[in-house]
Chains A and B, each alone.
Chain A
Amino acid sequence: MSGTFVGMPAFPVAAHEAVGNTTLRANLRHATHTIRDKRAKAVAELDDWALLREAGKQIKDHTLRHLDTYLVQLEEAVTAAGGVVHWAADAAEANRIVTRLVKETGESEVVKVKSMATQEIGLNEALEEAGIAAYETDLAELIVQLGHDRPSHILVPAIHRNRGEIRDIFAKEMGEWGRPAPEDLTDTPADLAEAARLHLREKFLRAKVGISGANFMVAETGTLVVVESEGNGRMCLTLPETLISVVGIEKIVPTWRDLEVFLQTLPRSSTAERMNPYTSMWTGTSDTETADGPRAFHLVLLDNGRTDTLADEVGRQALRCIRCSACLNVCPVYERAGGHAYGSVYPGPIGAILSPQLRGTTSEIDASLPYASSLCGACYEVCPVAIDIPEVLVHLRERVVQGGPATRQGNRVVLKPAKGHAAERAAMRAAGWAFVHPGALRAGQRVASRTRRFHPRTLPGPGRAWSATRDLPQVPAEPFRDWWQRTHGKKESGK
């Protein structure tokens, strides 16, 4: 995964800087608490939530277990419907494929609907190098792009910006890229949205190439699904002549019917709505007679560390993620540290387990991410596909500290324990950070004691033999904080 934010310090350092930024913390706190409360109401409307969650988990687990079969089935179905399927083993290859496809159209600009996969591979930068301008069209992504900034939340990437900041960015930057913001632009959200509407419409109407990700791909039918709110997705998916979708190989569901689970759990978990304003589904290209939508459709299937993640039987569950962002909004660490501190397009609890698996744990930021958590378990409770994030965090911590077998780029390797105890240092610094923010830690421990019983004692599959002779690391009975106070309290507590 090449999407490491360049020059990113380890989590504790970045987090430490972020918590000093009071505007950021206020923006974040307001946002996460608002969505969190709304989500709880939206979920409570469905009395079979637990069953939907379980079914979602089972569908994804089954798919991952037979991923080769479903990838081939999907390829056949997409091809039969008139699409072209490409396979990309890593970020560089995906970028090469997309760049070539755009060049073949003869165009030098593309419109994009927000896609985590293309952010992960750094597609915009790759296109720019090839002389192709990529315009982000999601309002929040536009704010991030115009602000020369990084996204900080999966769902609301500009969550760290308030209206005044957004007004200033629009007034200053829009003219550089196309239609300028009106002279008298105010900072009311309606005015800001209107400025974005006019600025982007000009681009939509002339766009010949659109680039998207997808929330789901149906193996049985070759159907792709994009879930969104603003309509920029519909614009990118239907107006251009060529559509290129870059999608992680884990986004498959076996059958059309499976969507009935995720179309109920995703909107309620993410934006806390019964249903998001727009969902688009398309299967290949439409025939000439109906002429509805792009005439050419390319699907780029992206690995980029996913098969390595699949090889880890504990960590594999991270591939169930449907990117709803519910875990971010309940995380006491995310709330204080902000998304940028995670050094990846995947912030928050899911980022803390996904990034080190996709990228490996050799860099300092990746080695520190499994420590970017209080193990409170709130992320697991809200996750609509029941990913046991604390379990994976503990597993990855152990990998960092003790080393052990892992898969990198398809090869089995044995990782050495992190050199010079870099990881322990990272852990200690994360702990030091948490002590400066006792609220985060207390909130964490309260829930931790309640969820301890969910943490498994043995590993599934072949790991069982290993765990039979030793205890799987658990949330400790003695809270880390007490241990720290007991052993290091005097030296470090004032840090």
Chain B
Amino acid sequence: MSSRDIILGRVRRALGEAPRGDAQTSYETAVDREYRREHGSRTTEETVGLLAANLADYRAIVHRCQDEEELPDLIMRLLAARGPQYVLVPPGLPPEWMSAADPTRVHDRAVSTTHDVDKVGSVVTGCAVAVAETGTIVLDGSPDQGRRRITLIPDHHICVVRVPDQVVSSVPQALERLDPTRPLTWISGPSATSDIELDRVEGVHGPRTLEVVLVSGE
């Protein structure tokens, strides 16, 4: 007998002979989902404000931009302040965003090895959705976000969030918007550890600096 049959047989014996009904049908009624879809009631503006506050609380650096026209200048300044020689860009990043930037642009597809990515100082991406209550940005590998490794290996990540379109209040609302078949990365603040006497240290392995630009759409 295969281990598969052994384990499934053990499960069935453990659960007994009593009829259990159909899993899917009983699932509908098995769980009380009385919990909230979001916590508190806020205006759209307040939700964006909460996102900014919670991002900052977990030591992401937050910038606001009134419209997309200001964006290239802001990105240019943020990159200049860190002075990376190379900056990674995913294939579908709107080219205007980088139109004022100085460092050499390296495209996601061009970096073939992890060592290539390791030579890059900064990465600029969009995002799939941002969660206000938790201060989280979620990337789903869309063309403006690129593969998972490009937002992991470089030490500096600039993530552009279109507000209010890409902002939801809560975790349940975020899951509704996401496609489980895509590779998803949820990011709340920069990488951190509290393993040494519970002192928080940023950037053990992921980017040590996370800058989030909230850009208001037209």
The residues of A with any CB-CB pair to B shorter than 8 Å are: 27, 30-31, 34-35, 45-48, 51-52, 54-55, 58-59, 61-62, 65-72, 81, 87-89, 93, 137-140, 143, 156-158, 162-163, 166, 189-190, 192-193, 196-197, 200-201, 204-205, 218, 221, 223, 229-232, 234-235, 238-239, 249, 254-257, 259-261, 263-264, 267, 271, 273-283, 286, 290-293, 301, 303, 307-308, 310-311, 407, 410, 461-462
Contacts and interface: CB of A to CB of B under 8 A. Distances in A.
A87 B152 contact: no
Nearest to A157: B195
Interface stretch (B70-78, B94-102, B203-211): B203-211
B195 A273 contact: no
Contacts of A34: 198
Interface stretch (B61-69, B80-88, B131-139, B158-166): B131-139
Contacts of B185: 234, 278-281
Contact of A275 (B11, B13, B136): B136
Contact of B199 (A27, A55, A189, A276): A189
B26 interface: yes
Contacts of A190: 201
Given A257-B172, A311-B14, 11 more contacts: A30-B197, A46-B39, A62-B23, A66-B26, A137-B205, A189-B196, A201-B118, A230-B193, A275-B188, A277-B58, A308-B10
A267 B190 CA distance: 16
Given A239-B114, A259-B175, A274-B135, A231 B180 contact: no
Nearest to B148: A238
Nearest to A274: B134
A96 to B, nearest CB: 11
A47 B39 contact: yes
Interface residues of B, number: 69
Given A58-B31, A163-B197, A278-B185, A70 B23 contact: yes
Contact of A62 (B9, B27, B182): B27
A58 B184 CA distance: 26
24 contacts: A31-B198, A48-B35, A51-B34, A51-B36, A55-B33, A65-B15, A157-B195, A231-B204, A231-B206, A234-B148, A234-B206, A257-B172, A259-B175, A273-B58, A274-B54, A275-B131, A275-B134, A277-B192, A280-B185, A282-B184, A291-B147, A292-B149, A310-B10, A407-B14
A59 B184 CA distance: 23
Contact of B3 (A88, A163, A290): A88
Contacts of A259: 175
A248 B14 CA distance: 16
A34 B23 CA distance: 41
Contacts of B134: 267, 274-275
- Max chain B C-beta neighbours (<10 A), residue from A58, A139, A260, A286: A260
